[in-house]
Structure formats: C-alpha cells, structure tokens
Structure 1
Amino acid sequence: MTRRSLSRVTLAQPGAAGMKAAATGLLVVMAFLFVAARLAEPTYPAASWLKAFAEAAMVGGLADWFAVTALFRHPLGLPIPHTAIIPRNKDRIGEALATFLKENFLIAPVVARRMRNIDLAGAAGRFLQAPQGQETRIRRGASRLIGDLAESLDDERLGGLVKGAISSRLKAMEVSPLLGHALASAINEERHIPLLEAAIRFMARALDANEPLIRDIVHKRANWVLKLAGIDSRIADSVVDGLRKLTAEMGTDPDHPVRIKVEAALVQLANDLQTNADTRARVEAMKDELLANRSVGLWIDAMWQKGRSAIISAARNPDAAMAGKMGEVLKAMGQSLESDPQMRRSINQFARRAVAGMAASYGGSIVKLVSETVRGWDARTVTDRLESAVGRDLQYIRINGTLVGGSVGVLLHLIDRI
C-alpha cells in the first residue's frame, strides 16, 4: 500500500453505520464506568466524580438515543406514542417539501429575482469566444450528446416528422403575398433590372441558336406561290433580323417601349399577387400542386439527409466545426454578446422571462410530482433514504448528548458538594 493510499484510509470519515456504532459504544463505555466507579467509591471517594459523570452521561446518551430512534422507528419495537414520526407522516412531509419548493424556488417572482444577477448572455459570449483548446470537455461532451441523439433517433420516423412539418408549414403559409412583396421591393430598389437584362440576353442567344428552326417554320407556313418566288426566304430573313434588332434595342435602351411594358407588367403582377384574390388563388393552387409532386418530396428528403449528416459530422468533430466558418460565426456572436450591453440585457431579460414563465406554467406540476412521488414511497423507503442522508449527523447528536450529559453531571455533583 502506497503512502497516498495510506493517507486516504487515515482521512476517510466513518459513515452513518460507523457513527452509530461509535455512539452506542460510547454509551456502553459510560455504563461500565458507572459500574466501576460505584464499586470503587467506598474505597476511593474521588471515584464519585467519575460516577456522577458516567451516570449523567448515560442519561443524556439514552435520552438522545430515544429521540433519534423515535424519528425513524419505534424504540425497542414498542408502539410508544409519538414515535416513528417520519414513517407515520411521510405524506405530510412530501406535501411540506413540495410546498417549500414551490414557495421558495418555483414561483415566477422568486425565479426572476434569483436570475436578476445571473448574466447568461455574458457567460455564453465568453464560452463562444474561448480560444481553441479551452472549454474542450464541455464542448465535446455536448457535441457527443447531440451526435448520439441524432444517430439514435429513428431516421425514417424522425425524417418523416421533419418533412411532414416542413410540408405542413409550406401548405399553411400563403406564399402569394410574400412573392408580391418581394417583387415590389425588388422593383422599387431596381434590383429587377439585372434579371431583366439577363432575360434579354437569353432571348438573343436563344434566337441565334434557333434561327434554323424559325426559318423552317416560315418556309412551312408559306404557300407555294411565295416559295416559288423565293419570298419565304426574305420573310424569314425579315423575321430573324427584326427579332435580333428588337433584343439588341431592348438591351441597350432602358426606355424601350417593350421593356417599359414588361416592367409595367411586373408592377401589375406584384400588385395582383398581394391584392387580387384570383391571382392569389392560382398561386396557392400552383404551390399545392408543386408540393404534391414526387420530385419535391425527394428534394425535401435529400435536404433532410444532408442536414442530418452535417449535424452528426459537426458533432463528431466539434474542434473542426469550431475552427471553420461556423467557429468564426460563433466567435463573432460571442464578441457581440460581450460588447453589446443592450443585446446582453435583452437576452438576459428574455431568459429570465422564459424561466419565470416555465416556473409559472410548470411549477405546480413539479410540486405535484414531488408530492406524489413521496406519497408513493413505502414507509421503509422514506425512512432508509432520510436516515442515510442525515443519520451520520444524528449519531453525532447522541455522542454530544452523552458528553454534555456527563459534563452536567459533574457540575451538579460539584454544586451538591458545595
């Protein structure tokens, strides 16, 4: 056995059973001292002091033994009134404990007052800014928990819940006003112009790519007289040149009449998407049809699988996640939380209100849970748990009662001699 293990054995404190044996042993020692002092008193008068000490110590020790034992059981198994207090009153103890928790911890004003001096936002900011290598155990533990949780959940069932929630949310959301507002904002800020010019360039490229098709259509639509005179080729040239000139002018002239009509049509569409009932109904019908499409379901499923894989991958390697772009974002958030008093105050206020709201909403349920749990325990369970929690200190009471009783006995013996 090493020196370290020896020191541990030496410094180990006895448990409840050891203290109980010590208190009982001290009481037995006092009884032997009392007998020995009484036998020696005729020969040695000074033994009367030891007799007085031992006698009073036995009385004090026995009184405290009775008091301590009466808390948990009947002394000597005798049904003495007002003993076995805890087993007989376990239901009332549970209700009192629940009431104590509610009145001192689970009332919204109490929770809010206790959280007033807790800077959750500042602590979160300092944690997010922790240099690489610090807070590693906490980060890895939390990441491992998130990864295990994500992997342990039924992928098919959880994925179905997520995809169902996304689909339900999209179905319940009216997208037409959102699209109209987005389009109107883009037009007001002239962010639609690059898209319009890109569409014009696309038309020009499409015209060049499909010129043979246009000429073939004109040739097939022309009658035999035009074909005989070769006019169909000139008509096709005029159509192609006219379309090419139109796209070129639209691309270079912001005030081109066709371009102005297109922009006016976009403005009207933005207004109709927000105010016209028929347009909104058509857009919603298109949205429902799109969501019912199997390809959209496969796309949502692919997005879920990618998100789940990303969560598990980041959780399995939290240091890499913190070192990448996500880490930079989190560190920036931490700096904002520490440097912005208004943001920190708002977050702390939100957290305080959230916890206080939870206490107000669920405090009664927690109190009921504590009360019903204690009520469901049998008397032996309650006795054993409480005795294991405070039994050691109660045995100290027996030892102190024995020693204090002996000291009082010596004092009374001194007074009697005076």
Structure 2
Amino acid sequence: MRWTATGMLAAMAVIFFTTHGFVGTHPAWGYVNAFAEAAMVGGLADWFAVTALFRHPLGLPIPHTAIIPQNKDRIAETMAAFLRENFLTPAVVARRMSGMNVARAIGDFLVASPTRGGEDARSRITAGAAELIAEVLESLDPDRLGNQVRSGLAAQISKIEISPLAGRMIESMMADKRHQPLIDGLIRWAGLTLEDNEETIRAIIHERTYRIVRWIGLEDKVSGPVLDGLYKLLAEVLVDPDHPLRHKVEEGLQKLAQDLQHDPETRERVEELKRELLENPAVAEWWMGVWERLRRSLIRRARESESAMGAEMRSTLADLGNALKQDERLQVQINRFARRTMVGVATRYGSQIVTLVSDTVKRWDATTITGRVEGAVGRDLQFIRINGTLVGGLVGMTLHFITGFM
C-alpha cells in the first residue's frame, strides 16, 4: 500500500510537469494540470502527516514529528488507564459475565463432534492432564509423599470403627448365603494343609502314642485311620450343605457378627488390633512398597497414549460436557462461580494487570512500538495518502473551473 500511494504521487508529479507546457493549447490541459498539481500537493501533505506519526520525515528532526516513538510512555499510560476504566472494573466485568453462559460453552466444547475438533480437544486436555500428573508424581519426593498419603489414610481409618462394619458385613453375607463359598474355601484350604503336613501329623501322633503301641509297631496303624478320618470329615462337610459341623461354623459366624456389633469387649479388642496394625513398622514398610508400585504404575499409564487412563478421562470429560449442556441448575452454579471469580480477579489484580500492560509497552524500544502500531494500522494510513491525492486533485480541478469564470 505504501508503494501504491507513493506511485500515485509520482504519477501526479509526472503528469503535472508533462502537461505544464500544454496548458495554453487547449482548455482541457488546464484541468489536467490543475488536477495533477493539487493532487501532488495533497499527496505530499498526507505523506508528511502519516510519516510524522512514526518517524521524522526524510530524517529531519522537525518538531512534532515521530509522535508515537517519542510519546510511547504516555501512550502506555493512556492505554493502561483506558483498560482500567473501561474493562477491568468489577461492575463492567460483572455486567459482561452476566450475559455469558460459561458452563454451556464449556459443555459444547467438550462434547463437540470430532469433525468440529471435539475429540481433538478432549485428547489434548487428557494428554496435558496426564503429563502433568506424571510430572508431579516424578518431581515430588516419593518417600515423603508416600508417608503423607499413609498418614492421611491412617488418620481416616482411625476415625472409623471397624467392628460394627465387619459385623454387619458378616450378617449381610449370611443373609444372602454368600458365606457358603467362604466356608467351602476354608474346608479346601484345611484339606490341602492337612495333605501338605501329613508327615508332621504322623510324627505328632507317633510322639503322643503310648510306648507299648510304639513297641509293638502299631503307631502307623493308628495315624493312618486318624488322617483318613480327617479327610473323610472334611469331604463330608464340603459336599453336605446341612452337615452339623457346617452349622457349627455358621453359628460361630453369627455369634461373631453379634459380638462385633454389640459386645464392648470384642469391639475394643478389634480397635486395639487396628491401632497396633496402623502403628506397626512392618505395615508402614508394606504400604511404602505398595505406594511405590502404585506411583510407578500411574506414571507409566499417564505416559502411555493408548492407556485406559486416557480413555477414562476422555469419557469423563464427555460426560461432564453433557451435564454442563443439559443441567440448568449446574449451569447457574458454575456461571455464578465464574462471574464471582472474574470479579474478584478484577478487584484484586486489576491494577497489576494494567501495570503489566503499561510496563510492557514502556519496555518496548521505539522501533518495536513503531513497527507494531504501523503493522496494525499502516494499510489504512496509506489509504489516507491515496484519498488525499485524489481529493486534492478534485479540489484543484474545481478551483481551476471556478477561477475560469472570474
């Protein structure tokens, strides 16, 4: 645009000097020459005015030129004052935020279709959040963080009375017959334990039998039937749901459930056991191992692009977006929170934001601020030069027409 405006000015100069010698030969040449002369004057005047905003014309230190570079600090203060008075006052922010449905906009953004960038947005959010989680878990001291998590869990567990919960859980299991697999598992475990320790049991029977039995060599005939009887008993209890021994076990479980809920002595013993477990160094060491494996697993899953964590986070974001779009009460709450937050930011930090703007502009050198302002409005300023050239030419031609009748 600068070349266009300058080229038009040069063209007017060429026309003026070319037609100057033909003015008396025909009346039309007078109009052309007058147009070119006035256009050249108008173009030069506007060139001077536009140039004087950003620099000294032709490098000459003419007063009141290079206005923007020489007054950049005053411009910065004026911009800051304008921003403070018209944008960062609590009343203005509250009025603007009252007409915005921030929650609905966030919901639309989160549930937008992939063709509109929705899936890409969710992927970017989850990727950034996952990387942030990984960075935090890596940067913090794992031992200290693990101890803090353990202390927090221990504090919460210490507030919970476990006995009534365990008692009600046992009652619920027995009411729904869900304790039967547990009893079956105990019976199978007892059978496997008995099978793995047959030699030890035989040795115990051998030591407990009378000397006369051992002297005549009958201890093997005694231990065999004992073991067979135990295997048979366990097998009968396992296959017979109405076996008396199974009923005895159920009675014991029922009594345990009642004692856990209503017997103060039993409840105190359980609480004491809980406290001892929480204070046991072995439990603390076990927890630190669990925490370290959990921490490394979280870091690995966060860094894997196709991990289940990313899919779960994307699904959660989509559900959140739908809730924000459809739940008007939730929208009201979030919009109110956003409005209060922005008003609070404007109240507490408005002056700091304004200071940041003014200080930033003040730190720019003259070349930087000139280039940025000229880059923003320079095209329109060159139109001023073009319009000045054309308007000046029309005015000159009009004046030549008027003077022709005087």
Q: Structure 1 residues 302, 110: closer, same or farther in 2, change over 3 A?
A: farther
Q: Which runs of 5+ in 1 are unaligned?
A: 1-18, 225-239
Quote how far apart the aligned CAs of 1:174 are. 7.3
Query: What is the aligned partner in structure 2 of residue 252 from structure 1?
Result: 251
Per mean C-alpha deviation after superposition, the further-off stretch among 108-117 and 378-387 is: 108-117
Q: Aligned runs of 1:38-49 on 2, under 5 Å?
A: 38-49=20-31
Equivalent in 31, 50, 56 of residue 38 of structure 2: 56
Q: Which amino acid aligns with 2:49?
A: A
Maintained 8 Å contact 1:121/1:337: yes
Deviations 1:375-409 (A, max 9, x none): 22211122122222222211110110111122222
Matches within 5 A, 1:371-410: 371-410=358-397
State which of 173, 180, 183 in structure 1 corresponds to 2:152: 173
Distance of 2:264 and 2:143 partners within structure 1: 34
| The one of 143, 153, 156 aligned to 2:123 | 143
Mapped contact 2:171–2:254 kept (Cα < 8 A): no
Counting matched residue pairs gives 372
Q: Is 1:117 aligned with 2:102?
A: no
Alignment of 1:14-413 (within 5 A): 19-130=1-112, 133-135=114-116, 137-140=117-120, 143=123, 147=127, 158-161=137-140, 163=142, 166-167=145-146, 169-170=148-149, 173=152, 175-176=154-155, 179-181=158-160, 183=162, 186=165, 190-191=168-169, 193-194=171-172, 248-249=247-248, 251-252=250-251, 256=255, 259-265=257-263, 285=279, 290-291=283-284, 293=285, 295-313=286-304, 315-316=305-306, 329-413=316-400
- What is the distance in 2 between the residues matched to 1:101 and 1:124? 27
Deviates most, 354-363 or 385-394: 354-363
Letter in 2 for 1:159: E
Unaligned stretches of 5+ in structure 2? 211-229, 231-242
Q: Which has the larger radius of gyration?
A: 2
Code of the residue aligned with 1:251 in structure 2: it is: E
CA distance in 2, matches of 1:312, 1:206: 42
Q: In the alignment, is the contact (CA less than 8 A) between 1:159 and 1:301 conserved in 2?
A: no
Shift of 1:74: 1.1
The answer to whether the Cα contact below 8 Å between 1:108 and 1:356 also exists between their aligned partners in 2 is yes
CA shift, 1:67, in A, is: 0.9
Code of the residue aligned with 2:290 in structure 1: it is: W
Give me the whole-angstrom Cα distance separating, in 2, the residues matched to 1:383 and 1:142.
41
- C-alpha RMSD over aligned residues: 4.9
* Offset at residue 374 of structure 1 (A): 2.0
- Mapped to 2, the partners of 1:259 and 1:88 lie a distance apart of 88
One-letter amino acid of the counterpart of residue 295, structure 2: W
- 2:261–2:267 contact (8 Å) kept in structure 1: no
Provide closer, same or farther for how the CA distance between residues 46 and 371 of structure 1 changes in structure 2, counting only shifts above 3 A. same
Whole-angstrom CA distance in 2 between matches of 1:175 and 1:354 = 35
Q: Could you tell me how far apart the structure 2 residues matched to 1:98 and 1:376 are?
A: 14
**What is the DSSP-based 3-state SS (H/G/I as helix, E as strand, rest coil) of the residue aligned with 1:82?**
coil
Q: Cα gap change, 1:128/1:374 in structure 2, threshold over 3 Å: closer, same or farther?
A: closer
Question: For residues 254 and 158 of structure 1, what CA distance do their matches in structure 2 show?
Answer: 44
